[in-house]
Amino acid sequence: MCGIIGAVLVQGLVAPLIRQSLKRLEYRGYDSSGIATVNAGRIYIKKDKGKIDDIHRRLNFDALPGVIGIGHTRWATHGPPSRQNAHPHIDCSNRIAVVHNGIIENYQELRESLVDRGHILLSETDTEVLPHLIEESLQTTKELVQAVAKILPQIEGSYAIAVLDTSGTALVCARKESPLLLGLGTTGFYCASDVPAFLPMTRKTLVLEDGEIACLTAQGAVLYRLLSTGGLAQLPPRQPTTVQWTLDMAEKGGYPHFMLKEIHEQPRALLDTLRIRKEKLQKFAEEINKHQTVCAVAAGTSYHATLASRYMFSQIAGRFMHSVVASESPEIIDTSLGNDAVIIAVSQSGETIDTLHALKGLKRQGCTILAITNTVDSSITRLADDVLYTQAGPEIGVAATKTFVTQLACLASLSIHLGEITGKQKHREASELFLKLNKIPDLLQSIIRNRESLVKETAQQYVAKPSFFFLGRGISRATAMEGALKIKELAYVHAEGYPAGESKHGPIALVEEGFPVVFVAPNDRTRRFILGNIMEMKSRLAEIITICSSEDERLIELSDRVVAMPPTLSNIFSPIGYVVPLQFLAYYAAIQRGFSPDQPRNLAKAVTVL
Ligand code: M6R
C-alpha cells in the first residue's frame, strides 16, 4: 500500500503542494518518497529513502520547477527501501516518469523482455517496467494518454498510476483494483490514492473506476474507458461529489477510528496477500519440508495466527507444527532445537523484541529462520534466512486486525503448497483449496457489510458484563483466543479465550446466571462436541452468543444471540472470517465503554521491551 498524487496547476509551483499532499498520505507508507515535475521539456526528479520531511530537509523538494508533477510515498513490496527503488521511475530516455500503487504480478516476464529489447532498468521494483513500456508505446503513438492505454492490457495485477512526460501538457492516470480519486479544483486538477491528499485544495471529487483512464490538463479532466485492445473510449463528463469530511476524518477514510477503517480494509489486504508469487511460497514450503521439526514463534495476535495455522499444517499438509509464545522460547526450545529445525517467525512489525530475542537464540542453535512480516526491512528480516511479506499495508490502530487475517492467508497458502510437496494433497485437491481461499475476500466483504450493525447491538447488550468466555475447538480455539485478547485490550473487560473442551476442567466454575460465553463454532468436525459444551454452559444459565454457519439451525436455536456466517466459508480457513465479528465486538465494546480503540492504555504498536 503506497500513496500517490498527481497535480496539474493552472499556475504556480506544483512541488510544494505535492510535498504537503504526500505528508497527508504518509499513513499509507513512509519508507521512501519522491516527486517528479516537468518544466520546459525536461523532467526533474528528487527521491530518496526515508520520511518525507527528512528527505525534504536534505534535497528541498520545493525547488522542483513546473506546474505539473507526481509524487509517491512508498511502502515497499518489491525491493527494499532505497533511493533506487523509490518512485517516481523513469524510462531510458528520461522522457517519462511514473508513480504506482499496487502489485504488477507479471513484472518479471515484462522486465525480462524489456531487457532483451535493450532497456536498462535500474531498480528492483515491479513499477519500473511501466515507464519503459510507455517509452516503446510512445514511439508509435503521439499522445501520452493513448500510449498509456496501449500498454495497460498486458499488465496483470493491480495498479493506480500517474504518468507525466516531457511534452508537459497533461498528466495521465489509470486504475485497476487500487484506489484512485480525482480532485477537481478551480486552480488545479488532481489524482490521488486518497482524499486527504487534495482536501485543502478541493472538496470536489470523482472516483476513477477500474479500467478507467483520466487525462488531466489545466483545463480539466477527461475520462476514458480502457478497451481490451488498448484503445480508448471517451466517457461523458461525470458529476463530482462534494466531500464533507474534515482532514482528520479523511485520513481515516471517513471512519471515526483507524481500527474500524482497518477492519473494513481486510478484504483488500487479503486479496493483495493472496497475490504473493507462487514461486516464493513454493520455495518457503520446500524449505519447511526439508526439516524434521517445524516450530512457529510469535507474540500476541501473531501467536494466535500461528496457533490456527497448526491445524492447517496438520490437516492440509500432514505436518505437525509446534507453536511457541516468543517470550517462552528461550526457556523451552532454544536448547532443544538444532539444525534439523525450521522456525516460522511471525510478526506484523518485525520489531517485537520477544520474537527477535527468541530468534537470536534459535539461530545460534543452528535453526533455519523463515519470517512472515508486514514490514519491509524490519529487524526480523535481517535475522531471517528468508522472508514472506504479508500485504496488509501499514496498520496504525494498535490492535492487530488486517495483519492477522493476512498472516492467516499467508500461512494457509503455505500449508497448501506444503501439502502438495508432502503428497497429502493431489494437485487437483490443492487447486480446490486455493479456489476456496481465493473466495474469502468476497465472503469477508459480505460479513463486514452484513454483520457490523448486529455485532454493534450485541456489544450494547453485553457491555456492562464484567467478564466473558470465548470458547472454540480445533482451529476455532485460536479464533476464540484472539476474540478474548481483542476485547481485553480494547474494552478493558476481563475475558478468557479457552479450548471449549477444556472449559469443564476449571473455568466453568465461574459460570453463573447471565455469564456471557461466546462460542466460535463453524460446522467442522468439532461441532458435535461443541454442542455438548454449549449445553454444559446453558444448563448453568450462561448467556450463549454463537458465531456459526447461517445453516446451523440447531446452534441457532440453542443460542441467545447468533452472528451467522456464510456457509460457503471453508472450515479449515474459517478463522479468517470468524474473527471479524469478534473484532467488531471488541471495537464497539470499547466505544460504548468510552475508550479509544486506536490507542489502548499500556500498549504500543511494536513492543520493544523484553
Ligand atoms: O508486531 P508483532 O506481530 O510481533 O506484535 C505482536 C503483538 O505485540 C501484537 O500482535 C499484539 O498482541 C496486538 N497488537 C494485539 O492486537
CA 43, 48, 51, 53 torsion: positive or negative?
negative
> Which ligand 1 atom is the nearest neighbour of the CA of 401?
16
Tell me the catalytic residues.
2, 605
Whether 378 and 482 share a structural domain:
no
Q: Whose CA is nearest to atom 8 of ligand 1?
A: 300
Whether 164 and 267 share a structural domain:
no
User: Per the domain annotation, does 297 fall within a domain?
Assistant: yes
Of 391, 410, 425, the residue at which a domain comes to its end is 425
Which pLDDT tens digit goes with each residue over 491-546? 999 999 999 999 999 999 999 999 999 999 999 999 999 999 999 999 999 999 99
What range defines the domain where residue 30 resides? 3-247
> Looking at the 3D structure of the chain, how many domains does it have?
3
User: Per the domain annotation, does 431 fall within a domain?
Assistant: no
Of 74, 176, 52, 163, the C-alpha closest to 125 is: 74
Whether 259 and 406 share a structural domain:
yes
Mutate to test the pocket of ligand 1, among 257, 302, 487, 610 (most ligand atoms within 8 A of CB): 302
Sequence-separated (6 or more) residues with CB below 8 Å from residue 252? 258, 260, 261
Whether the model clears a pTM of 0.85, i.e. scores above it, the answer is: no
d(CA 19, CA 16): 5
Of 218, 221, 226, the C-alpha closest to 168 is: 218
Which pLDDT tens digit goes with each residue over 554-589? 999 999 999 999 999 999 999 999 999 999 999 999
477, 593, 512, 526 alpha-carbon torsion, rounded to 10°: -20
Whether 578 and 533 share a structural domain:
yes
Of 390, 425, 460, the residue at which a domain comes to its end is 425
User: Per the domain annotation, does 181 fall within a domain?
Assistant: yes
Residues in contact with ligand 1 (CB, 6 Å cut-off):
299-302, 347-349, 352, 355, 398-400, 489, 606-607
Residue 603 has a pLDDT of: 80
User: Per the domain annotation, does 546 fall within a domain?
Assistant: yes
User: Per the domain annotation, does 435 fall within a domain?
Assistant: no
Q: 464 alpha carbon to ligand 1 midpoint, in Å? A: 27
pLDDT over 70 at 608, yes or no: no
DSSP category for residue 243: P
pLDDT grade for 309, boundaries at 50, 70 and 90: very high
Q: How many residues are present in the chain? A: 610
The pLDDT > 70 percentage for the chain reads: 99
Residue 179 has a pLDDT of: 83
Of 197, 218, 247, the residue at which a domain comes to its end is 247
Which pLDDT tens digit goes with each residue over 403-438? 999 999 999 999 999 999 999 999 999 999 999 999
Whether 287 and 416 share a structural domain:
yes
User: Per the domain annotation, does 443 fall within a domain?
Assistant: no
Give yes or no for a contact between 144 and 172, defined as CB atoms under 8 angstroms apart: yes
What CATH number corresponds to the domain at position 135? 3.60.20.10
Whether 60 and 157 share a structural domain:
yes
Whether 420 and 271 share a structural domain:
yes
Of 162, 180, 181, the C-alpha closest to 172 is: 162
Mutate to test the pocket of ligand 1, among 328, 352, 387, 395 (most ligand atoms within 8 A of CB): 352
Give yes or no for a contact between 100 and 5, defined as CB atoms under 8 angstroms apart: no
d(CA 413, CA 431): 11
Q: 499 alpha carbon to ligand 1 midpoint, in Å? A: 21
Residue 609 has a pLDDT of: 66
Residue 51 has a pLDDT of: 86
Q: 479 alpha carbon to ligand 1 midpoint, in Å? A: 15
Q: Whose CA is nearest to atom 9 of ligand 1?
A: 300
Give yes or no for a contact between 325 and 390, defined as CB atoms under 8 angstroms apart: no
Which pLDDT tens digit goes with each residue over 459-476? 999 999 999 999 999 999
User: Per the domain annotation, does 432 fall within a domain?
Assistant: no
- Find cell 497448526 and name the residue: 310
Q: 392 alpha carbon to ligand 1 midpoint, in Å? A: 14
How large is the average pLDDT for residues 82-91? 95
pLDDT grade for 333, boundaries at 50, 70 and 90: confident
Whether 234 and 305 share a structural domain:
no
Whether 35 and 161 share a structural domain:
yes
pLDDT over 90 at 592, yes or no: yes
Residue 174 has a pLDDT of: 97
* Mean pLDDT for all residues in the chain: 94
Burial class (CB in 10 A: 0-12, 13-18, 19+), 289: middle
- Find cell 505528508 and name the residue: 23
pLDDT over 90 at 319, yes or no: yes
Whether 318 and 223 share a structural domain:
no
User: Per the domain annotation, does 388 fall within a domain?
Assistant: yes
Mutate to test the pocket of ligand 1, among 301, 304, 379, 402 (most ligand atoms within 8 A of CB): 301
Residue 358 has a pLDDT of: 95
What CATH number corresponds to the domain at position 548? 3.40.50.10490
Whether 287 and 378 share a structural domain:
yes
> Which ligand 1 atom is the nearest neighbour of the CA of 298?
4
pLDDT grade for 186, boundaries at 50, 70 and 90: very high
d(CA 256, CA 246): 11
Side-chain half-sphere exposure of 110, counting CA atoms within 13 A = 24
Q: 167 alpha carbon to ligand 1 midpoint, in Å? A: 49
Of 173, 175, 79, the C-alpha closest to 128 is: 79
Whether 283 and 227 share a structural domain:
no
Give yes or no for a contact between 74 and 102, defined as CB atoms under 8 angstroms apart: no
